């Protein structure tokens, strides 16, 4: 049981890193999706 407790901080750090990577991917995808919408808005003017 102590081994599980000792590993918990390492697992938590790995999960935080994975979450940060996934968030960055989400921001990148959102930016790509928003770019064509901006172009369409400029064309309508």
Residue range(s) defining the domain that contains residue 45? 1-45
> Tell me: the pLDDT tens digits for 3-41?
777 889 999 999 999 999 999 999 999 999 998 766 656
Tokens of 14: 């790995």
- Check the CA dihedral 31-34-40-42 and report its sign: negative
Measured at the CA of 37, the angle between CA 35 and CA 43, to 5 degrees, comes to 110
d(CA 14, CA 5): 15
Calculated CA dihedral for residues 30, 32, 34, 38, nearest 10 degrees: 160
- pLDDT, position 11: 95
d(CA 31, CA 4): 40
Q: How many domains does the chain have?
A: 1
Which residue would you say has higher pLDDT here, 24 or 42?
24
């Amino acid at each position: 049981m102590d081994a599980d407790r000792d590993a918990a901080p390492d697992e938590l750090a790995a999960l935080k890193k994975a979450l940060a990577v996934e968030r960055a991917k989400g921001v990148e995808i959102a930016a790509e999706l928003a770019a064509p919408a901006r172009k369409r808005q400029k064309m309508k003017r």
